Structure 1
Amino acid sequence: MIRPLPLSSLATLVLLLAAPAAAQTIPTRAPADATRAVAADPAAAPADAGSDARFAVHGQATLVVQATPGFASPYTGANSLTPRQAKETADVTLYAGVRLWRGAELWTNPEIDQGFGLSNTLGVAGFPSAEAYKVGRRAPYVRLQRTFLRQTIDLGGARERVAGVANQVAGWRTADRLVLTIGKFGVGDVFDTNSYAHDPRVDFLNWSAVDAGSFDYAADAWGYSTGVTAEAYRGAWTLRLGAFNLSKVPNGEMLEPGFGQYQLDAELEHRHRIGGRPGALRVTLFRNRGRFGRFDDALALAARSGEPVDTAAVRARRTRAGISVNAEQTLTDTLGVFARAGLADGQVEPYDFTDIDRTAQAGLALRGAGWRRGDDTLGAVVIVNGISRAHQRYLDAGGLGVLVGDGRLPHPGAEYIGETYYRLAATRGFDLSLDYQHVAHPGYNRDRGPAEIFAVRLHEAF
């Protein structure tokens, strides 16, 4: 249910929550928005991690202001990024959880949202703000983003203390375990996670930095779905399986109610140590099944009928699949590196995420201990996104994708993105980030750009 609130009320609430606080219950480095979190170093765990808590309440508030100056734009289409604009997004989330019985947690995440992404979240396949939903609103509104039940079944091994953070009740668990989750939550809460690039509220903002751009994960227009997952932890290995509802139509606000259109996910993770320092490697596969259109079919129909090219006119029951690899490695006490690469079927239209058929990224995150700012973080990433020849022909004929479509594409090219941010930990729980992105060939169009994008982000976790 969406319930409007006065704009002044949300702005006031965000600014109040973003004000520096004297004391907080969440460590500055704790994930701001995840379905699970564990203290990797027991000695560094919060004070509440040693007890089995019954109830937990946390929250967050994030304000992002993003702008782009002028850039080359000889022509535009319905889904183009336009120059000389500034937009803001704001959200406030409550994380309320209760331990029902041993190993079982019930969580709900009501959220207040407001604002727009640049060009109403259009124009770049690797869109520059993952805090911008595909649904923009001028007036704040309330939406229930997550409600899920998670059951953890201990199977033995070393005992681990679990930090009390957003969507995780403080307590204990064993290294070997089975974790079952059912309800409404994000595919990215469980799959394709990364310690350095996965949370736009505290690290990178770009869509194709926080997830593999080709991972067409099931989601409504806000990025959440209904489904079930199972995770089996055994030693250094984890196997994850999941089934989720797709939206009723591509990029839609409404989800399928009963897996009429669905996604199946699988992920294998291996955790390791190199030189005594932790790292992980994950391989993720997805398979979407629903009513999708093929680009060449849409082009052929338009040539016969004289109507505008549109994949909606040729949708039929089809499958679209993809695979991605995700790696992270701690190199020193202050430096970590990460990389992702992914590939998806480029003959069939993407459904719920964005217009990317292949992607690669590499980046680093550096803590500020070297300049006596131990809780600050400097991050940098380079990303290359691409699409198939059929996808290029479709856009050149005037077709529109999930996010991109300049009306024509006579000179296609890969989308090159560089992003860097500096996150200043002002006080415990509150941080200020400055972010810069360089986007060459936005929407795969060599005739447009490059676009320089600047952002300021305020974030408070409590």
Structure 2
Amino acid sequence: MDRTDPLRLIGVPSLVRIFSTAAAGLLCAILATFPALAQIDYDAGNDTVFAHSETLPWWLSAQGNFIFQWHPRFHADYSGPNSFEHASEQAASEVTTLYSGLELSPSIEAVADFESAGGSGLSQTLGLAGFTNLDAVRSPNLGATPYLARLWYRKVIALSDDTISVERTPLSILTTLPVRRVDIHVGVFDMVDFFDLNSVANDSHTQFMNWTVVNNGAYDYAADTRGYTWGAVIDYEDRAWGFRFAEALISKRPNGLNLQKNLQDAHSENYELEFRPELIKKRVTAVRLLAFTNFANMGDYHQAIDLFEQGKTPTPEIDNHRMQTTLKYGFGFNAEQEFTDCLRGFVRAGWNEGEHESFNYTEVNDTVAFGGDLRGALWNRPEDKFGVAFVGNGISQRHRQYLAEGGLGFLLGDGALSYGPEKIMECYYNFPITVHAGFFGAIDLQYIDNPGYNRARGPVVVPGMRLHVEL
């Protein structure tokens, strides 16, 4: 198979100059605009509007995330049905979530979360593999109707007498856990609640926003169009390492809302091995090795191209095939390192086989991402955070040919293709916006070269703003 060398995916020099200038401008703007916030006593309380008990057997909280993005007109030799709009445009998205949990015993808990996702992404969330806003609804016709996001039962099986104390979060209210244990989760969840986690680049509500920075772009994880699935996770944890496995349902069609409940027709297995060595004394290190296998009614790029070249279809059509259960598999690498109290770094890499259609997450067959974040304690603003990341995304030879001959994926399709790896840089500055805890703002800037892997289009610059409220 033809693969782009991951080390050549990122053309750094010219982009570094652009983002160095942008990052410096963002930093100066925030410091000049909100000088009074430097006097907040950040050590005195929580980062939520309301304090949450560490002892009550239940949890109730909420959050809202509102993102506005815009881009100016950019160069495009041509456009197709699934192109990123080259004319100037703007879009806003909103996601509100109600979190609830119940501690049934010291080793059992239940979680139920309800969510509403409204607004839209730029270009109706089409035209980019590394899309600019993880909150954007991939099927805008769904509207903002509330839905059940998570509903799971967790059982902790102790394998040691030693315990550790952990902080409560909206997704877990148990405060004491065995050092060596097995966690079992069953129900509705987001696969990346458990897999491909990274404390530097994992949360579009307080960190980066781009799909292929927040998650491994090549991880085509099982989910419906909203990002959730039914399944079970078994997680073995020890002090220095852990291993987790998940079995989950896959949607009936690419980016579909309905999950295939017959496991004979579709199912997904996910595996992750995590190591936590102490490479730097008293600093957090994590290295994660990921693998997945998806079985579903997926089209084959080779078959779609053959039918087109034989004159049986007007363009290559990846969904023009009989019912078939095919295999898509892939691997991922994910590491993070804490260097100081203020500075952390991360790196991700991923690959999937690229012969069968992208089905669940995004149209990426190989990816490399790296970056870091810096807390504002260095400039007397300890709650502020600045982050920067670089990403290179690529697709397989068959995937390129399919798009070049006019084929459409569930995200991409310019009608033709002058292939080039999609290169992305993103920086953000996150900061509290009031003297009261729980309200945060962010300024974000993304630069995308070869949007949708097309040298005939772009580059495009996407500035954005975010308001985040924690209740």
Give the alignment's TM-score, normalised by structure 2. 0.87
Equivalent residue in structure 1 for 2:176, among 172, 177, 180: 172
Query: What is the total number of aligned residue pairs between the two structures?
Result: 425
Distance in structure 1 (CA, Å) of the matches to 2:187 and 2:175: 22
Q: Residue 26 of structure 1 contacts residue 429 of structure 1 at CA under 8 Å; is this kept in 2?
A: no
Distance 1:160 1:412, change over 3 A: same
Q: How many angstroms apart in 2 are the aligned matches of 1:461 and 1:159?
A: 30
Provide the C-alpha distance between the structure 2 equivalents of 1:357 and 1:24, rounded to a whole number of angstroms. 44
C-alpha distance in structure 1 between counterparts of 2:165 and 2:432, whole Å: 25
- For each residue in 1:231-265, what CA deviation from the matched residue of structure 2 results, as whole angstroms up to 9, or x when unmatched? 00122110000011000111101111243311100
Given residue 281 of structure 1, which amino acid in structure 2 is its aligned partner?
Answer: V
Match of 1:123 among 120, 123, 127: 127
Residue 267 of structure 1 corresponds to 272
Runs of 4 or more off by more than 6 Å in structure 1? 20-26
* CA–CA distance in structure 1, aligned partners of residues 52 and 101 of structure 2: 18
Residue 187 of structure 2 aligns with an amino acid whose one-letter code is G
Q: 1:287 aligns with which of 287, 293, 304?
A: 293
Counterpart secondary structure, 1:297 = helix
- Report the RMSD for the aligned CA atoms in angstroms: 2.2
Alignment of 1:332-411 (within 5 A): 332-409=340-417, 411=418
Counterpart residue number, 1:236? 240
Q: Which residue of 1 aligns with 2:249?
A: 245
AA aligned to 2:163 is: R
Q: How far off its partner does 1:216 sit?
A: 0.2
SS in 2 for 1:443: helix
Which secondary structure does the structure 1 equivalent of 2:303 belong to? helix
The structure where strand makes up a greater share of residues is 1
CA distance in 1 between counterparts of 2:48 and 2:290 reads 26
- Residue correspondence of structure 1 range 163-242 to structure 2 within 5 A: 163-242=167-246
Post-superposition CA distance 1:290-345 (Å, at most 9, x none):
11111111010112214321111135221110000000000011000000000001
1:296 aligns with 2:299: no
The structure-2 alpha-carbon separation of the partners of 1:26 and 1:136, relative to structure 1 and needing over 3 Å to count, comes to farther
Say if 1:61 and 1:90, in contact at 8 Å, map to a contact too.
yes
Aligned 8 A contact 1:342 1:360 in 2: yes
Q: Are 2:455 and 1:449 equivalent residues in the alignment?
A: no
Task: Please give the per-residue CA displacement for 1:10-56, whole angstroms capped at 9, x wherever unaligned.
Answer: xxxxxxxxxx99999994399xxxxxxxxxxxxxxx9844x4x3111
Of 123-132 and 301-310, the range deviating more from structure 2 = 301-310
For residues 128 and 262 of structure 1, the distance between their equivalents in structure 2, rounded to whole angstroms, comes to 29
What is the aligned partner in structure 2 of residue 110 from structure 1? Answer: 114
In structure 1, the partner of 2:26 is none
**1:133 paired to 2:137:** yes
Q: Which residue identity is paired with 2:296? A: G
Matched, 1:28 2:47: yes
- TM-score (norm. length: structure 1): 0.88
CA contact (8 A) 2:208 2:428 kept: yes
**SS of corresponding position for 2:183:** strand
Distance 1:220 1:201 in 2: 20
- Where in structure 2 are there 5+ consecutive unaligned residues? 1-36
Look up the SS of the partner of 2:159 in the other structure.
strand
Gaps of 5+ in 1: 1-19, 31-45
